[in-house]
Amino acid sequence: MTANRTEQNWLDSVRTLLLSGQVASAQTTLTHALAEFPVSADLRRVQAGILQRGGHPHAAEQVLRELLKQNAGDAASAFALAELLKNECRSGAAAAVIRECFAGTQNSSDAELAIKAIELLDGCGRKHDALAVTQSAIAANRDDPRLHAYAGMLAVQLGEFNNARKHYLFALERDMRSVEWHVPLGLSNTLRYDNPDHPDLALFRQSLGRDGLSGVARAELHFALGKASDDIGDYASAAQHYREGNAIRKRTANWSRKAWRRAIEARLGIAPNVAALSPTEEFTPIFVVGMPRSGTTLLAELLSQDPQICNCGELPMLARLAQDAALAGTSNHAALRHAAASYVREARQDGATEAHWFIDKQPLNFRYVDLALAMFPDAKIIHCDRSERDVALSLWMQCFLEDVQGYSYNFDDIAMVMGDRSRLMAHWNQRHARSITTIRYEELVSAPDQITEALAKWIGLPPRTRVISTPESKPSISTASLWQARQPVYSTSVGRWKHFAKQVPELLRFKAS
């Protein structure tokens, strides 16, 4: 008997069957439920989930879009559809769904719901859209420090440094917890300090004196003070703060020297891939690799001034694909074709760009050059090189949030990773010399136009046409180079290690050029 079952009874039954793995029974039960409650939004969202799970994303999308057509403010359906589109590498479409859902005041006034939307958009790389939702939410929740912290984070990545400062300072003034939300570190990256009496420095010191700070928050305050001290030329104070911050992060970071070395030896031991695919005419990736802080962001920015090149930022896809055992060594064509198609979808996203060349500037992709060239034989590998002392110092001065950068808090670990980078690049050059070129940071900042023109010719681009970037077209920068990459090209970072030679003698173990 089902006549007396409520909508919630049906919903609970379907969910119980799904949780127990009985998908076919869940589908049958759902069919009966929808016959009794055909306009139930909850049941139809479950229907979309079953369709997606069964490999029918387009049918699932149709169900969810119909729900949103009936109620544009249906947040549950909007989030479900946005997640579906995100998984389908359609971040632009996902962003449009969330933006429309939060166009009115109903959802924007719910701070928790808005934060969920902001985090989803940020995860899609849609920084402009995330900031727009944040601003709408702030208009409805003016005193919520969490929203201001998110606004600061997004604004600084978009190069809106004054806007970022306004929001960061609001969060710090209204809620002591904001010190744990990476706010001081973000605030320190909004300008170059030129005065030891700047109020930010007093704010950082005051925050550092609080009890109960987490290790990460305490480390970030030391990095913020180190950066400010470096800006004003107080290198002794800067070095001391960096030492304390690095010591804390070394203890808290989830990075294993043994695991790193094991992974590098495995890459060096992989046999040449004999199942390489044929070149594609419509998609050619450009992998900009090297040690972080070696100029990868700057080079990608300069190259992407050409409208024929799309700068995709730091894509995680190649590293994910490299973990697939089916792609190691003499992998088969089917596995490579599937991997290449996945990579292209992530790079192209919604396919709005007509670019032929796509930059992936994840520096640590130097580990996977063999896989990149097996999938895309016409790919170009640009290896960025820089004075080891400058790179080591610059890494040591950054408080990275990603575990993969956990080596940067110790000079022994930095030296090991640098050495492994050199070993791998020499190894790949022996196999793929025609696909790899090396660019020196020092030469790039002294003659950027000449270097980029030469690279364009090597890549095979037709004559270049520079375009003026608009704020909307300029990509967000969430790496440690978010300030530097927004400035005109400068060479003052060349030889910076000399300022710290006395306070940080460990730098002398690295090569100066």
Which pLDDT does position 489 carry in this prediction?
66
Backbone angles phi, psi at 286, to 5 degrees: -120, 110
What mean pLDDT is predicted for residues 200-219?
A: 96
Residue 484 pLDDT greater than 60, yes or no: no
Position 49 scores a pLDDT of 94
pLDDT for 422 beyond 60: yes
Q: What is the rounded average pLDDT for all residues in the chain? A: 92
pLDDT band for position 278 (cuts 50, 70, 90):
confident
* Residue 272 confidence class, pLDDT cut points 50, 70, 90: confident
Chain centroid to CA 51: how far? 30
Mean pLDDT of 416-444: 97
Query: Tens of pLDDT along 327-348?
Result: 876 668 889 999 999 999 999 9
Q: Is the pLDDT of residue 470 over 70?
A: no
**pLDDT number for residue 482:** 53
Please report the pLDDT score of residue 469 as a whole number.
43
Which residues, in sequence order, are CB contacts of 179 under 8 Å at separation 6+? 172, 207, 210, 213, 217, 221
- Which pair of tokens denotes residue 296? 């990868």
Q: What is the pLDDT of residues 81-111, one digit of tens each?
A: 999 999 999 999 999 999 999 988 889 999 9
Q: What is the pLDDT of residue 428?
A: 97
| CATH number for region 266-487 | 3.40.50.300
pLDDT at 471 over 50: no
Residue 352's pLDDT band (boundaries 50, 70, 90)?
low
Distance of alpha carbon 321 from its chain centroid, rounded? 17
Q: Would you state the pLDDT for residue 353? A: 67
User: Residue 76: pLDDT band by 50, 70, 90 thresholds?
Assistant: very high
Instruction: Tell me the backbone φ, ψ of residue 440, rounded to 5 degrees.
Output: -85, 130
CA distance 397 to 447: 26
Q: Is pLDDT at 235 greater than 90 in this prediction?
A: yes
Q: What is the pLDDT of residues 392-406, one digit of tens each?
A: 999 999 999 899 999
**How much is the pLDDT for 13?**
94
User: What is the model's pLDDT at position 350?
Assistant: 83
pLDDT tens digits for range 105-140: 889 999 999 999 999 999 999 999 999 999 999 999
pLDDT in tens, 5-26: 899 999 999 999 999 999 999 9
| pLDDT score, position 355 | 85
Distance CA 15, CA 466 (A): 55
Over residues 448-460, mean pLDDT: 95
How far apart are the C-alpha atoms of 438 and 386, rounded to whole Å?
10
Indicate the domain borders of the chain: 266-487
Binning pLDDT at 50, 70 and 90, where does residue 487 land?
low
- Report how far Cα 74 is from the mean position of its chain's Cα atoms: 29
Query: Residue 473: its pLDDT value, please?
Result: 45
**Helices (DSSP H) in 253-326: which residue ranges?**
257-269, 296-303, 317-321
* H-helix or E-strand spanning residue 384: strand 380-385
CA distances from 188 to 191, 254, 499 (A): 7, 25, 20
- Rounded Cα distance between 280 and 459, Å, is 15
Residue 294 one-letter amino acid: S
